[in-house]
Structure 1
Amino acid sequence: MEFYASCPAAFEQALARELRALGIRRPRPLKGRVSFEGSVRDAYRVCLWSHLASRVLLVLGRFACATPNDLYQGTYDLPWHEIIRPGASIAVSAHGTNPELRNSRFSMQKAKDGIVDRMVDETGARPAVDTHAPDARIVLTIRGDRASMSLDLSGEPLFKRLSRTVLARAPQGVDILRPDYAALVLAEAGFPELCQSARDAGTEPPVLVDLACADGGVLLEAATWLTDRAPGATRTRWGFQGWAGHDRTVWRELLAEAREREQAANRRPGRIIATDPDERAVEASKRVVAAGRIACAVDIIDPKADALRRALGRNVPAGVIVADTSVMAPDVIPSALRLATDATALAPCASMPIAWLSRPHGGLRIPGRAPSSTSNLLLGSDELQLVCLASASAEAAGTPYPGAGAGEPHSGKGAGGNRTADQKPSRAARATVDVGDGKPIPLLVPESEQFARRLIKVARQRRKWARREGITCYRVYDADLPDYSAAIDFYEGTPVEADHGQRDRGLAGGGRNRLGKANGHDGDRNKLDAAHGHAAEPATERWIVVAEYAAPKTVDPELARDRTLDILAIAPRVLGVPPEHVHAKTRQRSRGGSQYGKQGASVRHGGSPRADATSPLGDVLIREGGLSFTVNFNDYLDTGIFLDHRITRGLVREHARQARTFLNLFAYTGTATCYAADAGVEETVTVDLSNTYLDWAERNMALNGFIGSAHHFVRDDVLAWVEQQVRGRNRWDLIFCDPPTFSNSSRMGERTWDVQRDHVELLKGVVGLLEQGGVAIFSCNLRSFKPDVEALRAAGIGLEDITERTIPEDFQRNKRIHHCYLVRRL
Structure 2
Amino acid sequence: MEFYASCPAAFEQALARELRALGIRRPRPLKGRVSFEGSVRDAYRVCLWSHLASRVLLVLGRFACATPSDLYQGTYDLPWHEIIRPGASIAVSAHGTNPELRNSRFSMQKAKDGIVDRMVDETGARPAVDTHAPDARIVLTIRGDRASMSLDLSGEPLFKRLSRTVLARAPQGVDILRPDYAALVLAETGFPELCQSARDAGTEPPVLVDLACADGGILLEAAAWLADRAPGAARTRWGFQGWAGHDRAIWRELLAEAREREQAADRRPGRIVATDPDERAVEASKRVVAAGRIACAVDIIDPKADALRRALGRNVPAGVIVADTSVMAPDVVPSALRLATDVAALAPCASMPIAWLSRPHGGLRIPGRAPSSTSTLLLGSDELQLVCFASASAEAADTPYPGAGAGELHAGKGSGSNRTADQKPSRTARATVDVGDGKPIPLLVPESEQFARRLIKVARQRRKWARREGITCYRVYDADLPDYSAAIDLYEGTSVEADRGQRDRGLAGGGNRLGEEHGHGGCNKLDAAQGHAAEPATERWIVVAEYAAPKTVDPELARDRMLDILAIAPRVLGVPPEHVHAKTRQRSRGGSQYGKQGASVHHGGNPQADATSPQGDVLIREGGLSFTVNFNDYLDTGIFLDHRITRGLVREHARQARTFLNLFAYTGTATCYAADAGVEETVTVDLSNTYLDWAERNMALNGFTGSAHHFVRDDVLAWVEQQVRGHNRWDLIFCDPPTFSNSSRMGERTWDVQRDHVELLKGVVGLLEQGGVAIFSCNLRSFKPDVEALRAAGIGLEDITERTIPEDFQRNKRIHHCYLVRRL
Give TM-score scaled by structure 2 length.
0.50
- Cα-to-partner distance string for 1:54-82 (whole Å, 9 max, x where unaligned): 00000001111111111000100000001
Kept after mapping to 2: 8 A contact 1:520/1:708: no
| Aligned partner of 1:652 among 632, 650, 653 | 650
- Verify the 8 A CA contact 1:66 1:145 in the aligned structure 2: yes
C-alpha deviation, 1:100, in angstroms: 0.9
CA displacement 1:621-661 (0-9 Å, x = unmatched):
99999999999999999999999999999999999999999
Aligned mates of 1:216, 1:691 — CA distance in 2? 68
CA shift at 1:507, angstroms? Answer: 111
Distance change (3 Å), C-alpha of 1:704 and 1:604: closer
Q: Is the 8 A contact 2:475 2:641 kept in 1?
A: yes
Larger mean Cα displacement after TM superposition, 439-448 or 675-684: 675-684
- Secondary structure at the counterpart of residue 372 of structure 2: strand
> Could you say which residue in structure 1 is the equivalent of 2:217?
217
CA deviation map 1:491-523 (0-9, x unaligned): 999999999999999999999x999999999x9
> CA separation in 1, counterparts of 2:6 and 2:799?
62
CA positional deviation for 1:20: 0.3
Contact 1:363–1:559, Cα closer than 8 Å, also in 2? no
Task: Say if 1:581 and 1:783 are closer, same or farther in 2 by CA, change over 3 A.
Answer: same
Contact preservation (8 Å) 1:135, 1:242:
yes
Deviation at 1:328, TM superposition (A): 1.0
Q: Secondary structure at the match of 2:603?
A: coil
Q: Say if 2:213 and 2:275, in contact at 8 Å, map to a contact too.
A: yes
Q: Per-residue deviation at 1:369?
A: 2.0
Change (3 A) 1:807 1:492: same
Counterpart among 711, 714, 721 of residue 712 in structure 2: 714
Q: Deviations over 1:661-695 (max 9, x none)?
A: 99999999999999999999999999999999999
Equivalent positions of 1:318-717 (< 5 A) are: 318-398=318-398
Q: Deviations over 1:114-161 (max 9, x none)?
A: 000001001111000000000000000011111100000000000000
Residue 338 (structure 1) shift: 1.3
Task: Judge conservation of contact 2:63–2:147 (CA < 8 Å) in 1.
Answer: yes
Judge conservation of contact 2:608–2:700 (CA < 8 Å) in 1: no
Any idea what SS the aligned residue of 1:364 has?
coil
Structure 1 pair 684/85, CA: closer, same or farther in 2 (3 Å)?
same
Kept in 1: contact 2:417–2:583 (CA 8 A): no
After the TM superposition, which of the residue ranges 22-31 and 487-496 deviates more from structure 2?
487-496
- Structure 1 446/119 Cα, relative in aligned 2: closer, same or farther at 3 Å? closer
Which piece of structure 1 moves more, 580-589 or 626-635?
626-635
Q: 1:198 to 1:619 in 2, by over 3 A?
A: farther
Q: 1:32 to 1:754 in 2, by over 3 A?
A: closer
Kindly state the Cα deviation for residue 170 of structure 1 after the two structures are TM-superposed. 0.6
Distance 1:150 1:480 in 2: 23
Aligned match of 1:762: 760
Structure 2 alignment gaps of length 5 or more: none
TM-superposed CA distance for 1:293, in Å, is: 1.9
Distance 1:591 1:336, change over 3 A: farther
Moved more, 673-682 or 68-77: 673-682
Q: 401-410 vs 46-55, which deviates more?
A: 401-410
- Alpha-carbon separation, structure 2, partners of 1:61 and 1:249: 26
In the superposition, relative to structure 1, how do residues 592 and 150 fare at CA in structure 2: closer, same or farther (>3 Å)? farther
Distance 1:293 1:810 in 2: 56
Moved more, 671-680 or 345-354: 671-680
Structure 1 residues 258 and 739, CA, compared in 2 at 3 Å: closer, same or farther? same
SS in 2 for 1:458: helix
Q: Tell me, yes or no, if the aligned pair for 1:57 and 1:150 is still in contact at 8 Å.
A: yes
2:22 paired residue number: 22
**Deviation per residue, 1:396-416 (Å, 9 max, x gap):** 543699999999999999999
Bigger drift between 702-711 and 629-638 goes to: 702-711
What whole-Å deviation, never above 9, does each CA across 1:353-407 have from its counterpart, x for those lacking one?
0011011111521123210001110000000011101245533543699999999
Segment drifting more, 26-35 vs 562-571: 562-571
Aligned to 1:309, what secondary structure does the other structure show? helix
Alpha carbons of structure 1 residues 534 and 479: separation in structure 2 relative to 1, 3 Å: same
Which has the larger displacement, 479-488 or 403-412? 479-488
C-alpha distance 102-24 of structure 1, shift in aligned 2 (>3 A): same
Structure 1 pair 408/428, CA: closer, same or farther in 2 (3 Å)? closer
SS in 1 for 2:35: strand
* Greater mean alpha carbon deviation, residues 49-58 or residues 391-400: 391-400
1: distance between equivalents of 2:386 and 2:131? 35
State how far apart, in whole Å, the 2-side matches of 1:97 and 1:450 are: 30
Assess, with a 3 A threshold, how the Cα gap between structure 1 residues 789 and 323 changes in structure 2: closer, same or farther: same
Distance (whole Å) between structure 2 residues aligned to residue 568 and residue 271 of structure 1: 42
**1:368 and 1:391 in contact (8 A); partners too:** no
Distance 1:635 1:320, change over 3 A: farther
How has the CA–CA distance of structure 1 residues 516 and 76 changed in structure 2, closer, same or farther, with 3 Å as cutoff?
same
Change (3 A) 1:254 1:401: farther
For the Cα contact (< 8 Å) 1:669–1:693, is it kept in 2?
A: yes
- Residues 307-357 of structure 1, C-alpha deviations (whole Å, 9 max, x = no match): 101110121110000011111112111111111111112111110000110
SS of residue paired to 1:558: helix
Does the CA contact (< 8 Å) of 1:412 and 1:418 recur in 2?
yes
Q: Is the 8 A contact 2:672 2:702 kept in 1?
A: yes
Cα distance per residue 1:537-595 (max 9 Å; x no partner): 99999999999999999999999999999999999999999999999999999999999
Task: Describe the superposition over 1:2-27 as per-residue Cα deviations: whole angstroms up to 9, x where unpaired.
Answer: 00000000000000000000000100
The 1:222/1:404 distance shift into structure 2, 3 A limit, reads farther
Secondary structure at the aligned position of 1:705 is classed as coil
TM score, norm. by length of structure 1: 0.50
Q: Secondary structure in 2 aligned to 1:719?
A: helix
Question: Displacement, 1:615?
Answer: 79
Question: Could you list the per-position Cα deviations for residues 77-133 of structure 1 after superposition, in whole angstroms to 9, with x for gaps in the alignment?
Answer: 000001000110000000011111111111000000000000100111100000000
**CA distance 1:36–1:593, change in 2 (3 Å):** same
Contact (CA 8 Å) 1:781, 1:818: kept in 2 or not? yes
The superposition leaves residues 218-263 of structure 1 with CA deviations (integer Å, 9 ceiling, x where unpaired) of 0000001000000000000000000000000000000000000000
Instruction: Identify if the C-alpha distance between structure 1 residues 310 and 126 changes in structure 2 by more than 3 Å, giving closer, same or farther.
Output: same
C-alpha distance in 2 between matches for 1:801 and 1:583: 35
Shift of the 806–444 alpha-carbon distance from structure 1 to 2, 3 Å rule, reads same
Of 400-409 and 606-615, more deviation after overlay is shown by: 606-615
Contact preservation (8 Å) 2:410, 2:420 = no
* Equivalent-residue separation in structure 2 for 1:178 and 1:742 (angstroms): 47
Contact 1:616 1:693 in 2 (8 A): no
Aligned counterparts of 1:383 and 1:688: Cα–Cα separation in 2: 49
Q: Tell me the percent identity.
A: 96
| Contact 2:452/2:568, CA 8 A, preserved across alignment | yes
CA distance in 2, matches of 1:88, 1:635: 66
Given that residues 172 and 611 in structure 1 are in contact (C-alpha distance below 8 angstroms), is that contact kept between their aligned partners in structure 2? Answer: no
The count of corresponding residues between Structure 1 and Structure 2 is 824
3-state secondary structure, aligned to 2:602:
coil
What are the ranges of 5 or more consecutive residues in structure 1 without an aligned counterpart?
none
Q: What is the distance in 1 between the residues matched to 2:801 and 2:239? A: 67
Query: Which stretch has the larger CA shift, 731-740 or 346-355?
Result: 731-740
370-379 or 323-332, which deviates more:
323-332
Change (3 A) 1:339 1:735: farther
Q: Matched residue of 2:791: which SS?
A: helix
Please report the RMSD computed on the Cα atoms of aligned residues, expressed in angstroms.
Answer: 24.4
Q: Is the 8 A contact 2:377 2:386 kept in 1?
A: yes
Q: Distance in 2 between matches of 1:599 and 1:298?
A: 79
| C-alpha contact (below 8 Å) 2:668/2:698 kept by paired residues | yes
Shift of 1:432: 42
